């Protein structure tokens, strides 16, 4: 009942327009992948576990498994280390991946393994590779996937470096926040490949027209993920907020622009662009990435509004 209710909700939201992905969400139970999780409350985090013997605990745990919310599964000193992503966001990202039968996929950020399970149902386990830096997470994900009847290639390693021994990949999907697109992912993408990844509170869909080069626009949806952990990750710089009206700072579209261009623009400069361009939404922004440089842009990769991404050299035309 709970799984069916979640599925109906995702369909009603327009998050599952493809019958093949609807079948995957129907077939792969989230509950197998989150035996324990933390659910955020106004008092902090409530821990729910499948084997909790307390009165009503099992029902509360199962209810949470099928809420359309992210579920924290690993915490360290109060910091979120890993989570099971919000199902509606996962569905939208998987749809944006534009997979077809016979394609190979690399997932960066194994987490609980549920996303890998959905990919296995859609494409077949032999075509799915998933990688995470945390051996405890990859070990538990293998068990969860086995419980669901799947055995994809699960790698313990630095997701920033991709998985060269299994490359090239037709599709790469990341479930961790980035400050720029790692160059190894571009190198390991087949020509015509697609990279779907969270960046600057959005999700970029980067078409790799040739190995080592990609370009594409953001999806319209917002996205907040645990940062990529690995040698190549560098946190985004904190934006400078002075001089911007308080109500603007609370606007989601402005905060996205500010995060995307934080390396180049002060908050006042970002506010000027945002106001002149009539509050542009995420889908008007894009990214161009090569081995030498990466930059974000508004409307046109060669237009007047371009900003280097934090981990990349500057736009050569700027």
Whether 84 sits among the annotated catalytic residues: the reply is: no
Cα–chain-centroid distance for residue 312? 20
By the 8 A CB rule, do 163 and 184 touch? no
Catalytic residue among 74, 82, 84, 85: 85
Supply the angle between the helices 19-27 and 114-123 in degrees, to the nearest 10: 130
Beta strands in the chain (DSSP E): 36-41, 44-49, 71-76, 79-84, 105-108, 128-132, 153-156, 169-174, 189-199, 202-210, 213-217, 285-289, 294-298, 306-308
- Among 8, 12, 3, 66, which Cα is nearest to 34's? 66
Q: How far apart are the C-alpha atoms of 311 and 318, rounded to whole Å?
A: 17
Active site residues: 85
């Amino acid at each position: 009942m709970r799984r069916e209710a979640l599925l109906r909700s995702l369909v009603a939201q327009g998050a599952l327009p493809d019958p093949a992905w609807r079948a995957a969400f129907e077939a792969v139970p989230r509950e197998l992948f989150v035996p324990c999780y933390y659910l955020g409350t106004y008092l902090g985090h409530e821990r729910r576990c499948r084997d909790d013997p307390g009165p009503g605990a099992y029902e509360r745990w199962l209810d949470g498994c099928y809420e359309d919310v992210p579920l924290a599964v690993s915490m360290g000193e109060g910091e979120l280390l890993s989570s099971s992503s919000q199902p509606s966001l996962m569905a939208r990202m998987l749809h944006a991946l534009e997979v077809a039968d016979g394609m190979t996929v690399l997932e960066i950020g194994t987490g609980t393994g549920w996303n890998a399970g959905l990919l296995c149902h859609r494409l077949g386990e032999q075509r799915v590779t998933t990688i995470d830096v945390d051996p405890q997470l990859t070990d538990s994900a293998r068990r969860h996937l086995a419980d669901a009847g799947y055995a994809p290639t699960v790698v313990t390693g630095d997701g920033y470096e991709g998985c060269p021994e299994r490359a090239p990949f037709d599709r790469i999907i990341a479930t961790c926040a980035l400050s720029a697109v790692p160059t190894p992912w571009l190198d390991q993408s087949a020509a015509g490949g697609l990279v779907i990844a969270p960046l600057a509170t959005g999700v970029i869909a980067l078409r790799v027209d040739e190995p080592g080069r990609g370009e594409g626009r953001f999806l319209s949806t917002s996205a907040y993920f645990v940062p990529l952990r690995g040698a190549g990750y560098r946190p985004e710089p904190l934006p400078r907020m002075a001089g911007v009206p308080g109500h603007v700072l609370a606007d989601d579209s402005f905060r996205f622009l500010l995060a995307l261009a934080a390396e180049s623009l002060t908050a006042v400069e970002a506010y000027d662009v945002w106001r002149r361009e009539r509050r542009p939404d995420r889908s008007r922004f894009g990214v161009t990435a090569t081995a030498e440089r990466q930059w974000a842009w508004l409307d046109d990769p060669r237009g007047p509004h371009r900003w280097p991404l934090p981990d990349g050299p500057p736009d050569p035309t700027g």
